Structures are given as C-alpha cells and as structure tokens.
Amino acid sequence: MSQQRKSIIPDDFLWGGAVTSFQTEGAWNEGGKGLSIVDARPIPKGHSDWKVAVDFYHRYKEDIALFKELGFTAYRTSIAWTRIFPDGEGEPNEAGLAFYDAVFDELRANGIEPVITLYHFDLPLALAKKYNGFASRKVVDLFERYARTVFARYRGKVNYWLTFNEQNLVLEQPHLWGAIGPEDEDPEAFAYRVCHNVFIAHAKAVKALREIAPEAKIGGMVTYLTTYPATCRPEDALANVQAKELFIDFFFDVFARGAYPRYVTNRLEKKGICLPLEAGDEELLRSQTVDFLSFSYYQSQIVRHQEQDEWIIKGLEPNPHLPKTKWGWAIDPIGLRMALKDVYARYQMPIFITENGIGLEEELNEDGTVEDDERIDYLRRHIEQMKMAMEEGVEVIGYLMWGATDLLSSQGEMRKRYGVIFVNRDDENLRDLKRYKKKSFYWFQRVIRTNGEEL
C-alpha cells in the first residue's frame, strides 16, 4: 500500500483574515472612544470617513459567525488605543476594555485565535497635538503603559501580538506615527529620531509582554516590497541591495538581532546624524528580540540606480513584465516566495504572513452573489508559492488574507474591496451594511478545510 504524502503545512497552521480597528469598527464616538489622527484626516472627494466603516463594533458576533463558517483559525485586528485611553493618557476606559474582552471571547468561543496589533497608524489625536506623536519620548512611555494595560487585561485571551503595523514605513511617513518635522530640523535626522523612538517603544512592549504574559508570542512587522534590479547593470543591482537594506533588512535586523546594523550606523555617521540614544536603549534593544517575524505582501517593483544619494527610497519603478491591479500594484506571487526564502535564510525564525490580498471593484449580483474569480486566482497563486517556500525549508506559521469582510481602504475607499465577504455599502451610501458570501468565500473555506491541499 502506498503511503499518503503528508502535507507540508502543519496541522496547527493559522489560516485567517486581517483588518484594522479603524477600517472596520465604526462607532467612532461610542463607548467612551476618543479621537485619533485617523479621525482628523481630510477626506478626499468621493471617499468615506471612518465613522461607521463596516460597523464591526455592533456586528462582530455576526461577522465572527461567518469567520467560523469559513474555518478561520486566526483573525487579526488592532486595538484602538483611543478606546482604551481616549486621550492617550489618564485612566483606562473600562467600556473600551470590555468591548475587546467581548470580541476576543467571541473569537475564542468559535475556535479562532486573536492576532492583535497594538498600533495601526491611529495615534490618539491628543498625543499628536500635545507631544508631536512619537517624536517625543513621552509618547513612547505612554505607549508602554497602554501595552502593559492590554497585556494584563487580555492575558490568556490573546497569544499572538504585533507591536506596530508595517513599522518600516516610519522613515518615509513619520506622520503615520503622529509626528510632523519642524522646519528647522533636517528631515532625515527627524525621521531617524522618530524611527528610533518607535524601535524603543517596540522593545518596551516586548519586554512588558515577557513580564506579564510570558506564554504569549510577539512579533515585529514590516510591509515587504520585493524588488529586482531594473537591468543587469551592476549599478542597478547595487541600488536594489541598498534599497532592500534600508527598507526591509534594517527593521528585521533590529527585531531579530537587537542592534542597528552597520550599514545604517555608518550612513548616519557619514551624514553627521546622531541617534537620540538614552541610557539603556542599546541594552533594551539587544535583550528584547521577537518570537517571530511578520510581514504584509502585496506587490513587487524594480529599482534603478540614481546618481543622487537619497535616504527615502528612490528609483522604484513598475515591472513591465508583470500584470497589475486597477490600482497599479504588480501581481507577483513568486515575489512572495522570494521574500519568504530571503527572510528565513537571514534569520532562521518563524514567519507569519499577516496580510496578502487584492483590491477589486465589485458589485452584488441580483441573486446576492459576487463572482470574484480574479481574487481566487490571486490568493491561489500566492498560497502555492508559500507552499513551495515551505517545501524548500521555510518555517511559516500562518497566512492571513487581507480583509475577510470588505472594509474601507486606508484612504477611505469602499470601492476597493478586499474581502471574501461582501459588505453592502459604497463610498457615500451606507445602504444596509448586509453581509454576502462571495464565490471566494467557498473557495477559501475549502482551502482551510483541506489545510491548503485543495487550491
């Protein structure tokens, strides 16, 4: 009798979806919630604000029932800091804490592991106005207090934590951490100041979890943009290496190895930029490395050599050999495999894919269905490449598609839909917010039920 081939995906693999609080919850002024920097963003014409989003705050039981039907074993969302500390400081808000108690209890009752991000670009607005966000070490300390509060409250309910969403965006977009550079400060020096403070906040959170809930696991996360040299010219190949060092490797090096790499410190010394090191910072980073590495993956680009040295990554171009989404993002499943292989070769640490998906324009058919074959093809091809990487020895502990339900995009677009569950609203009309299962719902359900064997 022939022996059945064992699946490369382990039985405890985490399958599920990922969202943020501000893109799904709504209830922007309920339960004692304060305002965040997201609430204060200007809304582009034709887009939506986040006041209602997809109303997860009131419909979480309905949505979690759908996630159970899907077969999810994990669901990633973020805690809204402003639900716990409405102004970022002061006393914790019991109504906010109780809301997440209810959500995590409901997930666990349905066999779904909560994967929780502490910060997803939604700093309490009061901290941006009062302290200039993470440009201030005061906000680092307040973040640590917030982290300790939720770690203690949800010990035993949350076993997987992420500190900051896509932390590698901090150099190019410090405003996502509530920090605006003063006119009299060099922009690069300011960006590294904020970046360092965020690293310290990350490490303080890791330390806090070790003390409060040592059985739980915590990771650092980046957005992984796979890049290729624009040509086989050595200059383009070198530019590609340097872009990856600054955008990807720098952050994983600190998460996994606990120190700034020499290619960063040498660069700063050459430019006369001094990191805002305080006593104990280096030891804190060194001692508080993570349990796993995590990334979002959506696309790849090519890199062309630029004569002018830039601290913000330049020379990125679309790859002419790849198809693109309506929003111009290259579709590159092999790029995911390359990302997994590279990260594992450098660090030999477990990897958690915490975002991967495609945004599509979709409308509900008269019979309440959505034929989203393009999404099925996208997810299938990426999961296939993930499995190939695992067959080559990469340790992947989970795969979370971006969305689960449709949600507002980070720019407030409802027409850019990511979910396998259709939410009946558009950018300007809330309609009835009813949920409908797309064709991809049943496809992903089968993938999870067969642990990735049937794609």
- Catalytic residues, which ones? 355
Per residue, what are the HEC states of 118-135? Answer: EECCCCEHHHHHHHCHHH
CA quadruple 128, 129, 135, 138: dihedral sign: negative
Q: Measured between alpha carbons, how far apart are the two ends of the chain, in Å?
A: 26
Q: Residue 257 and residue 285: Cα distance in Å, rounded?
A: 9
Amino acid 16 reads G
**Burial of 354: CB neighbours in 10 Å, binned 0-12, 13-18, 19+:** buried
Which DSSP letter does residue 43 get? P
C-alpha pair distances (Å), 101 with each of 30, 64, 151, 204, 302: 16, 14, 12, 23, 44
Q: What is the pairing mode between strands 74-78 and 113-119?
A: parallel
User: What is the crossing angle of helices 94-109 and 137-153, to 10°?
Assistant: 50
CB 13 within 8 A of CB 397: yes
SS3 content of the chain, % helix, strand, coil (to 5): 40, 15, 45
- Give the max Cα distance, the chain: 76
Kindly give the residue spans of alpha helices, DSSP state H, lying in 280-401.
281-287, 333-347, 373-391
Only one residue has tokens 């980073």, namely 285
For 81, 104, 175, the CA distances from 220, given in Å and listed in that order, are 18, 21, 20
How far, in Å, CA of 141 to CA of 447, rounded? 43
Handedness of CA 24, 411, 222, 123 (dihedral sign): negative
Give CA separation, 327 vs 143, 289, 417, in Å. 34, 36, 12
Two tokens at 381? Answer: 């091809």
Residue type, 424: N
In 60-209, DSSP assigns E strands to: 74-78, 113-119, 160-164
